[in-house]
Amino acid sequence: MKNKSKNIFFNTILCLSVAGFFMYSLQEVALSRMEETFRRQSYQPPILSAFTIIQSDDHEDLKEEDVKPNKGIASITKSERTSLGPKVWITMGLCWGENAHVHGKDNFPYSEAALRSIQLWHKMTNATVIMQLVHNSTEPNEDLLSYMAKLESFGARVSLFQSKELPCVLTSQLVRLLAFEKDFVNDEDVIITADVDAFIMTPEILRPLKKKVSVWIWRYELTYHMGYTFMMPFIGARSKTWRSMLWYNGSLSSMVSHYRELMDLSTDYTWDVDQHIVSYAIISNKMCGLQKSNKLWAELKLDPEPFPDMKTCWHGSGIFEDCNNQLWSRNAMIKYQGGGCKWWHFLPSEGVKELEDKFREIMKGDSNNHFFDKLIHGAKSVKKTFVDTLFTYEKVPKKDPSGELEIWNDHTNKV
């Protein structure tokens, strides 16, 4: 009987190991193919290899051995929501009646997504959403005013913005950067950029604010490994920091022209201009840096000069990437390494039904609580209880022949 139990145990470990290796392999093959496609198309995807879904030492209170499954919405108390830091504003922008004509997003229901994402932020956290509704009309129509009232009924601070100088979509992406201009936002308040189709799944999304720095970049690791601009969901800084970092003279058109000249961006380049501007502002003001070999330096037309940033920047790792309905192996790694998905991002092909289904799931507290989630948590428990007692591993710094990583101590691989 004892030998039988022992065989079952080792067979289970073997199956889990094979399954894990299979997941890694699939993800790496997919990643290689996608990277080649993206190099040809100059498209920046929100992906990370399963191998980079690791936790860094820069995660205060989120070290791997301490990570527990994310709390569901039903277990959140008011005191927990108010204990996560200073006044926090989530800034979003929405172009009314028009979508971006890129990456298949022509028909995505952004206005429907905003209705739900605002409720999730207000239900799960003590943050308040600032929504900037951008329109092309001389006067807002009744539908827009009715929509505005609905957003306000959910607790959002909503303002209307007429796009005169720039296209509506670009204006909505840029105007969310200017939340520090609002008279109700104080200098010490934290402002976090977000997308309307980013559905948070746990109040843990704001736990990084416990780290006392100037700028928080939730998806820093993606930029670190892939060289992409810093992703708008999510970047946080105090209002006074946003004001000091960004060049703005009261005109969005002048702001874009200013940064276009600095980065040598063509006038027909309009997608991700906001991310280029924010990335340039953060790095040039020496808030968050990158390794010398990172290709983002060249993209932003900045000299590759790394600098110590541990006191000014929080570097989010792969566990803060989005979960979605496509990259299931990555979802599994986020759940395994990070205790659960932190937020959900939708594909361009998804619609109102998918938005509503995910919204209801999160609101009911069912996200991160499915059978597969419990299986992942169980596997991690088995690893910690049995495997880690039989096998040891050590942290090995990444290869650093040029010494370019020596100013960071939070980027390590487990082997």
Q: What is the mean pLDDT of the chain?
A: 79
Q: Is the pLDDT of residue 9 over 60?
A: no
200-224 pLDDT, tens digit each: 999 999 999 999 999 999 999 999 9
pLDDT-derived band at 65, boundaries 50, 70, 90: very low
Q: Is the pLDDT of residue 166 over 80?
A: yes
Mean pLDDT confidence for 309-320: 95
349-384 pLDDT, tens digit each: 999 999 999 999 999 998 876 655 656 555 555 555
Q: Is the pLDDT of residue 41 over 90?
A: no
Q: Where are the domains of the chain?
A: 44-414
Q: How many whole angstroms separate alpha carbon 123 and alpha carbon 71? A: 13
**What local confidence, expressed as pLDDT, does residue 89 receive?**
98
pTM assigned to the model: 0.78
**What local confidence, expressed as pLDDT, does residue 269 receive?**
74
Q: Is the pLDDT of residue 52 over 50?
A: no
Which of the two residues, 389 and 135, has the higher pLDDT score?
Answer: 135
In sequence order, what are the residues at sequence separation of 6 or more whose Cβ sits closer than 8 angstroms to the Cβ of residue 287? 214, 215, 237, 241, 245, 309, 312, 313
Q: Is the pLDDT of residue 306 over 70?
A: yes
383-395 pLDDT, tens digit each: 555 544 554 545 5
Mean pLDDT confidence for 234-257: 97
Which residue, among 307, 312, 310, 332, has the nearest Cα to 321 in the 3D structure? 332
The length of the chain, given as a count of residues:
415
Tell me the HSE value of 297 on the side-chain side, using a 13 A CA sphere.
13
pLDDT-derived band at 58, boundaries 50, 70, 90: low
Q: What is the 3-state secondary structure (H, E, C) of the chain?
A: CHHHHHHHHHHHHHHHHHHHHHHHHHHHHHHHHHHHHHHHHCCCCCCCCHHHCCCCCCCCCCCHHHCCCCCCHHHCCHHHHHCCCCCEEEEEEEECCCCCCCCCCCCCCHHHHHHHHHHHHHHHCCCEEEEEEEECCCCCCHHHHHHHHHHHHCCCEEEEEECCCCCHHHHHHHHHHHHHHCCCCCCCCEEEECCCCEEECCHHHHHHHHCCCCEEECCHHHHHHHCCCCCCCCEEEEHHHHHHHCCCCCCHHHHHHHHHHHHCCCCCCCCCHHHHHHHHHHHHCCCCCCCCCCCHHHHCCCCCCCCCCCCCEEECCHHHCCECCCCHHHHHHHHHHHCCCCEEECCCCCCHHHHHHHHHHHHCCCCCCCHHHHHHHHHHHHHHHHHHHHCCCCEEECCCCCCCCCCCCCCEEEC
Say what percent of the chain tops pLDDT 90: 59
Range with the poorest average pLDDT among 96-110, 142-156, 199-213, 328-342: 96-110
**What local confidence, expressed as pLDDT, does residue 376 receive?**
58
Q: Which residues pair with 94 in a beta bridge?
A: 133
Q: Is the pLDDT of residue 308 over 80?
A: yes
pLDDT-derived band at 336, boundaries 50, 70, 90: confident
pLDDT-derived band at 397, boundaries 50, 70, 90: low
pLDDT-derived band at 277, boundaries 50, 70, 90: very high
pLDDT-derived band at 226, boundaries 50, 70, 90: very high
**What local confidence, expressed as pLDDT, does residue 1 receive?**
54
138-158 pLDDT, tens digit each: 899 999 999 999 999 999 999
